[in-house]
Amino acid sequence: MSMLSINPASGQIIQSFPTWQADTIDTVLNQVEAAQVGWAQLNFEQRAGYMRNLAQVFRQRRDDYAGLITEEMGKLLKEARAEIDKCALGCDHFAGHAEAYLAEEVIASDASRSVVVYQPLGTLLCIMPWNFPFWQLIRAAAPAMMAGNTVVLKHASNVPCCALALEEAFAAAGFPENTLRTLMITAAQAETVIADHRITAVTLTGSAAAGRKVAAIAGQHLKKCVLELGGSDPFIVLEDADLEFTVGQAFAARFQNMGQSCIAAKRFILVETIADAFVQQFKTLVSQLRSGDPKEETTTLAPMARPDLRDDLNAQVERSQALGAVLVTGGEYIGTQGAYYAPTILDHVRPGMPAFDEELLGPVAAIVRVKSTEEAIHLANQSQYGLGASVWTRDTAQGEAVARQIQAGCTFVNGIVKSDPRLPFGGVKASGFGRELGYHGIREFVNIKTVWVR
């Protein structure tokens, strides 16, 4: 069996990679497990030196890595560059803050001295998605490795070139050999790796279905896991919002990365007094998107990552229309080459429709009209997902009050949902559990150990 790297803009095969046999997997797991012993013995400043080197590698090779992302998964080149910039930022952040995040804590007790120390678990398996093929790995690996863990990466099967480039970046930064390795394996093989005694913990960014499977296997073997799964983020617009500003932010929140983001705004919950004006202004911005080669600076509408993802999205749009959703614009394929899909707005969406109940991982915005703030909160929470959310209002006190009532791992007031190395990131309900980033995230994959001395 082979992994195919396919350009989603042209449909052409870039490269093919054979998946590994069991003996190769066994050899690499032995090597990474052995490397972890020496890596954990380094002090924070020594590990930070390598992490800062990695940040420099990302900055120096920014255009090369961005071009690879665009070629392999279709992201607009300017967005791919921004992804690499964020990788460098994440590496620098944990290089500079890991020691403080994991500082020993002396706690008064009945002992002469009782102290909490944070020690690495071992080797972490990172199962990562294609939509942010560099950043997703870095946001998991940078804190885990600064804590003294080693990492093996099982990347999405459609971005094998990015997976190998990540391994090469760590090598170029001078990391000790085998502290991070890419496994060229299938999802079925990954299940075996989760169960392997040399893997001490696992983190997954992916679908809810994949999360349930990974959690079941990890639970069977009593291994810690963190799951960052799908989302159907509500974008709540109250009647006093600055409409022009909010519509512009809504446009960015829905259509960046071709809408293929778990934290993209998906359900636009509008108080009805401003709904017509919002939809009209939103449609005007959407109509200005232009498809083309994602490597061209003039292109504003990229292809989706794979044709099957586009087909699934189109089916969700059609099923929602059959249940009464009103098509404002889009809802069709673009051209005959590549995985292009027209930016789409569905109005009068309600619970029971795929556009409300399911994750729309692509350029489709679902408009939900409500009569009041209370109804907006109710419908925002009427979802299996709970990853991110945003509230838009001139009254920031009211915005914060609404934000505290939304069932999500993060809620932004007058801002687009994003991950930030300084802040914890993760979800509730079917959006997963555990946290990445910040000091909360770095403590997920350590042994929080009490040392008690009489």
Is 167 labeled as catalytic in the residue annotation?
Answer: no
For residue 1, what pLDDT is reported?
Answer: 78
Catalytic residue among 262, 358, 359, 410: 262
**DSSP labels, 360-421:** --SSEEEEEEESSHHHHHHHHHSSSEESEEEEE-S-HHHHHHHHTTS-SSEEEESS-----T
Which domains are present in the chain? 2-229+431-453 (3.40.605.10), 233-420 (3.40.309.10)
Residue 318: phi and psi, rounded to 5, are -65, -40
CA–CA distance, 264 with 235 (Å, rounded to integer):
9
* One-letter amino acid of 417: V
Which portions of the chain are predicted below pLDDT 70? none
Cβ burial 73-90 (10 Å sphere, 16+ → b, else e): bbbbbebbbbbbebbbbb
- Number of residues in the chain: 454
Record the pTM: 0.97
Cβ burial 425-448 (10 Å sphere, 16+ → b, else e): bbbebbbbbbbbbbbbbbbbbbee
CA–CA distance, 106 with 193 (Å, rounded to integer):
37
Is 191 labeled as catalytic in the residue annotation?
Answer: no
For residue 216, what pLDDT is reported?
Answer: 98
Nearest to 361 by CA among 341, 377, 389: 341
Catalytic residue among 83, 167, 228, 444: 228
For residue 54, what pLDDT is reported?
Answer: 98
**DSSP labels, 412-447:** EESS-----TTS-B--EETTEES-BSHHHHHTTTEE
